[in-house]
Structure formats: structure tokens, C-alpha cells
Amino acid sequence: MKQINEYYFKEKFPYIKTLDEIISMEFPAQDWLIENLLPIGSALLAGPPKIGKSYFILSLIKKIFDDNKGIYYFAGEDSLRRLQTRLKQLEIKPGSGEAYFHAGRTSPLGDNAFEHVEDFLNQKPSVRAVFIDTMQLVLPRQSKTRDYGAYVHELKPWADLACQKNVCILMVHHTRKNNGDSDQYPIDGVLGSQGINASFDTILVMKKAKDGQGSVLSVTGKDVEENDYRLERQQYGWEIKGLETIASLGERQSDVYNFITENPGITQTQLSRELSMDSGNLSRRITKQIKLNLIKKENLGLYAIK
């Protein structure tokens, strides 16, 4: 009787799995568009006005396109002329992959934005990344301010579409004016209800670096490791220059970190001699980098944490 009941239970609730079933499942490795930064799924890029979000998007597009993966970019605030200028500036050239660009100034999407993107992905299954710049331009128009529930309701279909089509759908948004607070948790600066943050798998937030040199990209999400990356402004666009904790080190701190990286297992005494640094200053710098999780001490040797 128990087996018969189990059979009908499975027939009635086919999507409910037991603990044993879930543990025994095998899944492919995480699918990345950009390793450790942009996985398949829904994503949000937020930042203050004029920090260079659109150029950063084009920098991501160049990386993805150079990897022969198809992209679609809705540049809601750009004309075809401006798009052409920026594509030339970043040297995004025709290649073996597919790239489709939609100038919103020339042809706005309006209230049928979701249906348009869904139909496009049905027609172009080779496209792996969709960029929407900005989020507000593809949400239905309404006169009242959206609350938590409204944002979740309107953004969920986009997240579901990303999952169904096995693509990344990234939307661009803004941060609050007070996001210059360096002590603020990055996603708390996203403009609008917390329903926005709750609706995306991955959240990237751009802000100015504390030392005034470039910007910082804070990354958090369900499938990414939480990290801050230093962005260095190029003539056009941005380049990721590694972890912010390393990029923001002072000159002598960088000397210590780099020497340990190049000479794993070096002792503090050897390091003091090689860098001509007194033991007191060196000890303080090593203690700081251990707290920052940049290096570790094993027995007598010092090692950089990869």
C-alpha cells in the first residue's frame, strides 16, 4: 500500500524531490559568461549617474563577444550615431560571434519590452547575454511609486526567462545620491525598493574608490563569490585590475604582498632583510594583510592566498 501511495504522490507532485533524490543529482559546472563575475541568470548593474556604467557594459560585451558568444544590447538612452561612436572607441569589431544592438532613442521598446526580448531569444538561440540599459525603460509605465511587491512581480518574469533560455539578462540601474558613503554596504545603495535586490541572481554595484583612483565594482549574488574589484578607467571604458583589497594597498604594503606572492614560504626574517624593512613596520604590515585575508602564515613561512 505504501508503494502504491508513493506512486500516486509522485504522479501528483512530480516537481517535489526527496532529500536523497536531490543529493544524488548531478549537475554541470556553473556556466559563466565572465569567470567569477557574470554567471548565467538575472543580473543588475547599479551605480551613480555619469560614473560610466554604459561604457562598463560595453567592456563586458567586448569580453563576451571576443569569446564568440552572442549578445543583445538595448541601449535605451542612445542613438545609432552614439552607439557607433562608442563601439569604435572600444574597438568592438565584427567577428565570428553574433552581436545585436538596439538604439532606444531611435526605437523605444515601450510596454511590450518583455515580449520583444522573449521573441528575439526564440529567434536567436545563439545569444547568451542580454543587456538592458536601463531597467526603468522596460518596466510598465505607472504613475505611483513601486513597492517591494510590485518590483518582485514585474522583475520575476525576466529572471524566469533567463533561466528558461539559459542566458544572462543584465539590467542597468542607478544608486541613491548618498551612495558615496564608503562604509555603506553596496547593495543598500541601489535606488528604490529592496524588491529590486531580491529579484536578481547577481548584483554588481559601481562606486568611486576611496583613494580617488578609479572605481570599485562590488559583486554579490547567489552563484558568485562576494568580492570588490578595482576598475581602472581606460581612454574609453573600464578594465578590471584585480581585487580592491590588493589594488588599494600602499606602495610598501604592495612590496610586501608582491614579494610574498613571488616567494611563497619566505620567513618574516628573510622578508625583512630582502626589503630592507625593520621588523616592527613589517610585522604591522603582515598583520594587516592577514586580517585582509591576503596572506597566511603556516609554520614559519608566509604565503599569498590565491
pLDDT digits (tens, 9 = 90+) for 141-158: 887 889 999 999 999 999
pLDDT tens-digit profile of 36-71? 999 999 999 999 999 999 999 999 999 999 888 999
Within-domain flag for 276: yes
Give pLDDT, residue 42: 98
Residues 163, 266 within the same domain = no
Same domain, 209 and 76: yes
Note whether 36 and 184 are same-domain residues. Answer: yes
Share of the chain above pLDDT 90, in %: 64
pLDDT at 24: 94
pLDDT above 80 (res 219):
yes
- Same domain assignment for residues 262 and 299: yes
What CATH number should be reported for the domain holding residue 263?
Answer: 1.10.10.10
232 & 263 share domain: no
Of the candidates 245, 260, 288, which is a domain's last residue?
245
- Cα dihedral sign, 170-176-182-187: negative
Q: Is residue 234 part of a domain?
A: yes
What average pLDDT score do residues 182-201 get?
Answer: 86
Residues 228 and 279 grouped into a single domain: no
Share above pLDDT 70 across residues of the chain, in percent, rounded to a whole number:
96
- The structural domain count of the chain equals 2
Domain end residue (candidates: 245, 271, 293): 245
- For 72-81, 172-181, 223-232, 268-277, which range has the lowest pLDDT when averaged over its residues? 172-181
Same domain, 96 and 230: yes
Sign of dihedral through CA atoms 153, 159, 165, 167?
A: positive
What pLDDT score does 183 carry? 52
Of 199, 220, 245, the last residue of a domain is 245
Q: What is the pTM of this model?
A: 0.85
d(CA 1, CA 226): 49
CB 238 within 8 A of CB 74: no
| CATH number of the domain where residue 133 is located | 3.40.50.300
Q: Are residues 238 and 288 in the same domain?
A: no
Instruction: Give the tens place of pLDDT for each residue, 272-300.
Output: 998 999 888 899 999 989 988 889 989 88
Binned at pLDDT 50, 70 and 90, residue 212 comes out as: confident
What was the pLDDT predicted at 3? 59
pLDDT computed for residue 96 by the predictor: 63
Question: For residue 59, with 0-12 CB atoms within 10 Å meaning exposed, 13-18 middle and 19 or more buried, which class applies?
Answer: buried
Calculate the average pLDDT of the chain: 90
Residue with grid cell 594597498, as numbered in its chain: 249
**pLDDT at residue number 202:** 97
**Residue 83 main-chain phi, psi, to 5 deg:** -60, -45
> Do residues 230 and 276 share a domain?
no
The mean pLDDT value for 18-43 works out to 93
pLDDT at 10 (0 to 100): 87
Q: At what angle do helices 80-89 and 53-66 cross, to 10 degrees?
A: 60
pLDDT at 292: 86
Question: How large is the average pLDDT for residues 233-246?
Answer: 90
Would residue 5 count as lying in a domain? no
Q: According to the model, what pLDDT value does residue 248 have?
A: 84
Same domain? For 300 and 272 the reply is yes
Mean pLDDT for 165-179 is 90
Q: What is the DSSP letter of 234?
A: -
The answer, yes or no, to whether residue 102 has pLDDT greater than 70, is yes
Grid coordinates given for 182: 564608503
- 140 within domain boundaries: yes
Peptide bond into 134 cis (omega under 30): yes
The answer to whether residues 72 and 187 belong to one domain is: yes
In a domain, residue 3? The reply is: no
**Domain range for residue 123?**
32-245
Average of pLDDT values for 150-173? Answer: 97
Q: Has residue 2 been placed in a domain?
A: no
